[in-house]
Amino acid sequence: MEQLAIPYQQSMMFLSYIRGPLVNDWVEEQALWLIDQVTRGVPHAEENLWATIETRFRQAYTDTAEKQKAQHNIRDLKMKGDDLDGFIAQFTMTAKKARCYVPSKTSTATCDDTWCMLDDNDLLKAPLAQQGR
């Protein structure tokens, strides 16, 4: 396990778990980049090796539609029964995916879209109104 503390080994181990016809070329490209870096004198312990691989992975394989899906889903959220805590937890998680700012102690939520401009009272009234309360 000590080997995983070394960014070069951590990166190579990570890449070794990613397999498949749709990703093999990307994995090979990253492994060659890592080998090239250490061949040029970058220390195996250089934190930027792992940081670069992690960033490239996220850029290449993050669900690019996640934000749009979450923005759509947040519009359709409804409280189930009287489970306010569950609704708030679901709203908070979905809002994060939608890239909304949901403050914990203030009364304003902001987002890059008007549907997410809610205050605490709107947040609580909306699900109740949808259930006919």
Convert the pLDDT of each residue in 40-65 to its tens digit: 999 999 999 999 999 999 888 877 67
Domains of the chain, by residue range, sit at 2-61, 66-130
What's residue 106's pLDDT? 45
Chain centroid to Cα 42, Å, comes to 29
| Sign of the C-alpha dihedral computed for residues 53, 56, 57 and 62 taken in this order | positive
- Euclidean distance between CA atoms 68 and 28, whole angstroms: 31
pLDDT tens digits, one per residue of 4-23: 789 999 999 999 999 999 89
What's residue 107's pLDDT? 41
SS3 content of the chain, % helix, strand, coil (to 5): 60, 5, 35
pTM attached to this predicted model = 0.51
What are the structure tokens assigned to 66, written together?
A: 């996640």
- Euclidean distance between CA atoms 77 and 88, whole angstroms: 10
